Amino acid sequence: MAASRAVESRSRSSSFSSSTSPATSPAISPVTKIRDSPSMIHAKVQRGEDITNITSQYEKKNSNRLGPSSDRSISPILKKNMSLAVLHVGAPAAGMNAITHSFVRCALAAGYDVYGVHNSLTGLASGHIEVRNGEEAYDVALQMLDWSSVAGWVSRGGSMLGTKKEKVTEPFAVAATLSKYNIKGLLIVGGFEAYSAALSLSIQRKLLPELRIPMAVVPATISNNVPGTRVSIGSDTALNEIARLIDYVKQSGTGTRKRAFIVETMGGQCGYLAAMGGIAGAADSIHFVEEQVDEREVEKQRREAEHRMKRPGSHHYLMVRGEGCHMKSDEVLDIFKESHQMSSRLTTLGHVQQGGAPSVFDRQMGLRMGAKALSSLRTMLMEEPHPDSENEGTVLIGLQGSSIRATSIIELKKISCFSHRSHNDTEWWRNLTHLARVLASETRAPDSVHDRENNSGARALEALTEAVEEEKIEDNRESAGGEVIGCNLSRGALLSTFEQSVVQRGRRAKGVEMDERTTNSVSYEEELVEYEEGETTKE
């Protein structure tokens, strides 16, 4: 009797489960029909290309590689050569893992095998593949990544593959590794070192045919010093951390009367972190490497700080500086310490600026750029090879204006400066520093032209107003090869026509301005060799 009841119970259970299976569930079938209906597709299209791209990337990234949704539209010629590789180069930055996560899963969904290269360029040159002995793995350099290998990487900071600042020192070994494992596409994630490494490999294509494969670079660095993109992955997380730390410094100033705080940020020879961090932290003055500040200007700011301390309700003065400024922070501190009306303190934020978990912006931009990198590599793989064009086939994925685009690195060399590991396409954020000057100025609007010329706040307000008037908004702009995002600001947004009179780039090492170096007759190959032979500046 008990056995018959058990059999009856199992039969009822199986019949119930089969009647409510996902394939025939009455709750899921209408949803699927609505999602695929013409009206829903039309509504999605009306929301713009942005939502369409996001939906497509989400479906590809989360589809099972072996499932029916896998994209197998690969040329039969390429089916025997479907291996790709991804590696990290440069200092760690939040969002590197999100880029890798998106790239790997989209590549698996498209039918490619993906190698993860550990230990940066050194691992790529060594060419050792992971060997497992029971539960232990050893001799790890190249690892075949599967669907679960990158699970949970989106929210992880740093670099799960391992990264370091290094140059391409063994191009023959790199070419041998690519040939040995039949790698036909390479993704390099990192900062200026990743960009220069891609350039070096492109130059070596003249001698090594194994390097004539599609390559893509996704910029990921807190310094935001890579050309070809408005923002680099990781810089937003760093700015959030800088703003939080500046708030802590200012909070201590509310309890300590009459004190000047000098906060030094990272960024190397690019003042993006100092400028944007100073704006976010409501700094009274901002120093960054693109604008030269001398002792007279610092003494003027010290007198301004002393004047503020005399006013009721003003208890502290905040200065934010980049580490690459011509005048060192210790020298600025010595000038401020000459004052007998206030105390001065220097705070160096250090590597804590790299942050922990990536911000929402860095996560979603990392996912999009990873998918765009795969799309660019696939496009180049589908094209007919051009053996006479060694420098073709290497692109940088970046945010330009309002779209994510793939730009040839050969075009980016025109605005690159290898001696300072930066570029000169920085007007958009340099003009925003006028806003900080306006907010920090205590003087009222001038009554005469003479007063206006001697009023720094008024001059900054005029500069800011003219910069905002230059902003152009293009609705529904569609760029070839670009993924339109946000409100479609033009590439010339916030660019001012008065740059020469307001912002002057400071002279750097050897007394040569960056703008001059990027327009001289020295070829980028010679400049790159000079950069690789010299010492790498701390990022």
- pTM assigned to the model: 0.74
Q: How crowded is residue 313: how many other Cβ atoms within 10 Å of its Cβ?
A: 5
Does 449 have pLDDT greater than 50? no
Confidence at residue 480, expressed as pLDDT on a 0 to 100 scale: 43
- Helix H segments across 287-413? 295-309, 329-337, 360-382, 409-412
Rounded CA separation 96/365 (Å): 11
Give the mean model confidence (pLDDT) for residues 383-388: 56
Confidence of residue 433 (pLDDT cuts 50, 70, 90): confident
d(CA 136, CA 134): 6
Segments making up each domain of the chain, as ranges: 76-233+359-409, 238-356+427-510
Same topology, domains 76-233+359-409 and 238-356+427-510? Answer is yes
Quote the pLDDT of residue 44: 66
Per-residue confidence band for 459, with pLDDT thresholds at 50, 70 and 90 = low
The pLDDT score that the predictor gives to residue 125 is 92
Distance from C-alpha of 378 to C-alpha of 310, rounded to nearest angstrom = 64
CATH architecture under which domain 238-356+427-510 falls? 3-Layer(aba) Sandwich (3.40)
Note the pLDDT of residue 196. 93
Assess whether pLDDT exceeds 90 at residue 486: no
112: which strand partners?
none
Is the pLDDT reported for residue 96 higher than 90? yes
Classify residue 326 by its DSSP letter: S
Question: Is residue 460 very low, low, confident or very high in pLDDT (cuts 50, 70, 90)?
Answer: low
Measure CA 534 to chain center.
25
Name residue 189's beta-bridge partners. Answer: 88, 218
Q: Per-residue pLDDT tens for 226-266?
A: 999 999 999 999 999 999 999 999 888 777 778 999 999 99
Query: At residue 163, does pLDDT exceed 80?
Result: yes
Contact 232, 423 (CB under 8 A): no
Q: What is the pLDDT of residue 53?
A: 63
The lowest-confidence range among 90-99, 150-159, 160-169, 517-526 is 517-526
Q: What pLDDT is attached to residue 251?
A: 87
Whether the predicted pLDDT of 278 surpasses 70: yes
pLDDT for 308: 84
Mean pLDDT for the stretch of residues 131-150: 72
Round to whole Å and give the CA distance between 272 and 506.
15
Beta-strand relationship, 183-190 and 215-219: parallel
**What was the pLDDT predicted at 55?**
63
Angle between helices 38-46 and 49-61 (to 10 degrees): 120
pLDDT band at residue 144 under the 50/70/90 scheme:
very high
Over the stretch 6-56, which tens digit does the pLDDT of each residue have? 545 544 444 444 444 444 444 455 666 666 677 776 676 666 666 566 666
Q: Quick one: pLDDT band at residue 69, thresholds 50, 70, 90? A: very low
- Among residues 527, 526, 229, 201, which one has the least CA distance to residue 392? 201
Q: Alpha carbon 328 to chain centroid distance?
A: 27
Confidence of residue 200 (pLDDT cuts 50, 70, 90): very high
Separation of alpha carbons 74 and 45, rounded Å: 26
Instruction: Identify the helix (H) or strand (E) that includes residue 434.
Output: helix 433-440
Q: ∠ CA(70), CA(72), CA(75), 5° rounding? A: 165
**Contact predicate 426/290, CB 8 Å:** yes
pLDDT in the model for residue 35: 66
Q: What is the model's pLDDT at position 439?
A: 78
β-bridge pairing 131-133 and 394-400: unpaired
pLDDT cut 90: percent of the chain above it: 45
Q: What is the largest CA-CA distance in the chain?
A: 107
What is the percentage of the chain residues whose pLDDT exceeds 70?
A: 63
- pLDDT over 70 at 492, yes or no: no
Give the residue ranges of DSSP H helices in 81-160: 96-109, 120-126
Whole-angstrom CA distances from 89 to 22, 404, 419 are 44, 21, 18
Out of 3.90.1660.10, 3.40.50.450, 1.10.10.10, 3.30.565.10, the CATH code matching 76-233+359-409 is: 3.40.50.450
Strand partners, 347: 263
How many Cβ atoms are within 10 Å of 66's Cβ, its own excluded? 9
The pLDDT of residue 432: 84
d(CA 372, CA 321): 35
Output the CA torsion 377→379→385→390 (10° steps): -50
The DSSP call for residue 489 is B
Q: Tell me the pLDDT band of 223, cut-offs 50, 70 and 90.
A: very high
Task: Tell me what the pLDDT averaged over the chain comes to.
Answer: 76
Are the C-beta atoms of residues 279 and 432 closer than 8 Å to each other? yes
Mean pLDDT over residues 94-105, rounded?
A: 96
127 pLDDT band, cuts 50/70/90, is: confident
pLDDT for 413: 86
- H helices present in 110-258, as ranges: 120-126, 171-180, 192-204, 235-255
